[in-house]
Structure 1
Amino acid sequence: MVDRLAALLGHFSISAQTFQTGPLCGINTLDGSKPYGQLHLLRRGKAEVWHGHTKAHDLEEPSLLFYPRPTPHSFVTDREHGADFVCAHILFEGGSANPLLNALPDCLCMPLTQLPDSVALLSLLFAEAEANNCGRQTVLDRLFEVILIQLLRGLMESDSPQLGLLAGLAHTQLRRAIVAMHEKPEEDWSVERLAKIAGMSRSVFSNQFRDAVGDTPANYLQRWRIGLVQKWLKNGQPLRLIAEEAGYGSEAALSRAFKSQCGLSPMQWLKESQAAKH
């Protein structure tokens, strides 16, 4: 089986920063103002989860609550005894250019019993959270990252993955073509060539790709390439090299494709992106 996450994570990393290990008492709010999401693990106790004035979840058993993107939310717990949480900020490199982030729901909530492959890992994380060992923060951060990857694996194997990239990666044939695009964006990918990799006819491949992913193969490839271009621009790579690595024959061809998708030239986009940080 092809590794469906290797190229995605190789181009766009996922990082975790643990910020809570212990009881939360009363009302605790995250305002969603920072450029990252959160992964919460409820170990003991009960908690209500509120989105503004709406109660979104009742956590009555050990549970996982995942917000891939910045989302305001609050926990309401017993004022005296609280509930025992271990929580981390989660940052998907590339932001909106990251197709994995774009494929995830706004919120995912499930009891820990639905993560049987993570039992040993969760036990290790909870033990580390209680201890005061050297390197504790780094260990917790890495454990959260592994849990997140295991969660992504589970979503790809779900009986009913939603429309989008995860549905495409769950498909036993389409996944081969999607991974090929992820691994080698510089290749001259035609629909015929991708269909051959998937082991399907051109028409069947195009129809099933659109039905599963919600876009045509050509459009998906362009969005993948432009997302990489945005990352490489921010890293300071020269446009000539970027055009080659992203599969465009020239800087002019890259600029046309970039402006078609983003409404700006690559340099204009980079200037605006840098200005937005200040």
Structure 2
Amino acid sequence: MDRLTTLIKRFQLRVGPVDPAAARLLIVAEPGSAAISFDDGIGGGGALLFCTEPVSGRETHQTCADKGQKILLAMGVSWSRSTNPFLAALPDCIRYPLQDDPAACELVRLIVQEDRGGRCGADSVVSRLGEILMVRLLRDQIARGSAEPGLIAGLGDPRLSRAIVAIHDHPGKPWSNDDLACEAGLSRSRFAEVFAAEVGETPMGYLRRWRLILARQDLVRGDRVDAVARRYAYGSSEGFTRAFRKAHGVAPVSLRKAVA
């Protein structure tokens, strides 16, 4: 069961150069107080820091300085903050220690070598390796779960995650509560209770919200309203339009006209 790939593809995870004005940052930081340099190897308190809210370079350096760390490398991250339910569920700043992940340490070493080497294609290599680091960090977040209701907590639950992944991967299927409870291996009543407690909304509520997030993406891309309505199991364009307007505050046809 893959809890990340659909989210990564749908919201186009990208890692690249830092926007000088503001960006969500993936930072490789190492302790400022310890005599650790790139040549000594990453570890001994080194960490990845992912800032999920846009911050300026000055704010980033100040945050690391306050934590007694120095920045080895910073990369910009794009992952559709405005509609991405996974990103919205993350805390403002995530710290992923590197000392217990030798593979991540080696990735960091390769990234820094490419960044400093000035060789052909270095930007592409740094971007691809940075995306791998992001996946490792996100996996760790799922494994840790969350004390707060939301998508992270739901994906961290081995029962609920099966139902959530089914929703993510097959949004056009005419799911019922019974179907999703079966995916989770729970009774309907127990599934509804646990889902609401962990995710913070009902299973059908999350299904509707996910469908309408995807529908917005498709409309912005230029897809027809009636085709999108059918794709996400709406019985009519009118019913889809009402649901879409309630969720997004605009009529679906207005988004399609904007790209026509």
How high is the TM-score relative to the length of structure 2? Answer: 0.84
Given the alignment of the two structures, is residue 198 of structure 1 paired with residue 180 of structure 2, yes or no? no
**2 CA distance for matches of 1:155 and 1:269?**
34
Name the Cα RMSD after superposition. Answer: 2.7
* Deviation of the 1:19 alpha carbon: 3.8
How has the CA–CA distance of structure 1 residues 135 and 232 changed in structure 2, closer, same or farther, with 3 Å as cutoff? Answer: same
* Deviation of the 1:88 alpha carbon: 1.0
Alignment gaps of 5+ in structure 1: 21-29, 47-59
Give the equivalent residue in structure 2 for 1:261.
247
Given the alignment of the two structures, is residue 9 of structure 1 paired with residue 8 of structure 2, yes or no? yes
- Contact 1:210/1:217, CA 8 A, preserved across alignment: yes
1:159-174, aligned counterparts within 5 Å? 160=146, 162-174=148-160
Give the equivalent residue in structure 1 for 2:134.
148
- Contact 1:4/1:175, CA 8 A, preserved across alignment: yes
* Deviation of the 1:110 alpha carbon: 4.1
Give the equivalent residue in structure 2 for 1:65.
49
**2 CA distance for matches of 1:114 and 1:228?**
37
**2 CA distance for matches of 1:118 and 1:162?**
27
Given the alignment of the two structures, is residue 101 of structure 1 paired with residue 100 of structure 2, yes or no? no
**1 CA distance for matches of 2:98 and 2:150?**
25
* Deviation of the 1:123 alpha carbon: 2.1
Match of 2:61, SS state, is strand
**Matching residue within 85, 98, 102 for 1:112:** 98
**1 CA distance for matches of 2:102 and 2:151?**
24
**2 CA distance for matches of 1:65 and 1:228?**
29
Match of 1:192, SS state, is helix
Given the alignment of the two structures, is residue 221 of structure 1 paired with residue 207 of structure 2, yes or no? yes
Q: What letter is aligned with 1:184?
A: H
* Deviation of the 1:195 alpha carbon: 0.3
Q: What letter is aligned with 2:27?
A: H
Give the equivalent residue in structure 1 for 2:77.
90
- Contact 1:18/1:140, CA 8 A, preserved across alignment: no
1:117-132, aligned counterparts within 5 Å? 117-132=103-118
**1 CA distance for matches of 2:100 and 2:256?**
42
**2 CA distance for matches of 1:198 and 1:251?**
31
Name which of structure 1's ranges 217-226 and 243-252 shifts more when overlaid on structure 2: 243-252
Match of 1:67, SS state, is strand
**Matching residue within 16, 21, 24 for 1:37:** 24
How has the CA–CA distance of structure 1 residues 160 and 92 changed in structure 2, closer, same or farther, with 3 Å as cutoff? Answer: closer
Identical aligned residues as a percent: 34
**2 CA distance for matches of 1:125 and 1:74?**
20
Query: Paired residues, what number?
Result: 244
Give the equivalent residue in structure 2 for 1:27.
none
| More helix by percentage | 2
Match of 1:113, SS state, is coil
Q: What letter is aligned with 2:173?
A: E
How has the CA–CA distance of structure 1 residues 19 and 44 changed in structure 2, closer, same or farther, with 3 Å as cutoff? Answer: farther
Q: What letter is aligned with 1:67?
A: C
**2 CA distance for matches of 1:74 and 1:16?**
17
How high is the TM-score relative to the length of structure 1? Answer: 0.79
- Contact 1:233/1:270, CA 8 A, preserved across alignment: yes
Give the equivalent residue in structure 2 for 1:54.
none
**2 CA distance for matches of 1:244 and 1:41?**
45
**2 CA distance for matches of 1:4 and 1:152?**
10
| More strand by percentage | 1
**1 CA distance for matches of 2:118 and 2:245?**
52
* Deviation of the 1:161 alpha carbon: 5.5
Alignment gaps of 5+ in structure 2: 34-43
**2 CA distance for matches of 1:16 and 1:122?**
14
Q: What letter is aligned with 2:49?
A: L
Match of 1:75, SS state, is helix
* Deviation of the 1:242 alpha carbon: 1.0
- Contact 2:27/2:71, CA 8 A, preserved across alignment: no
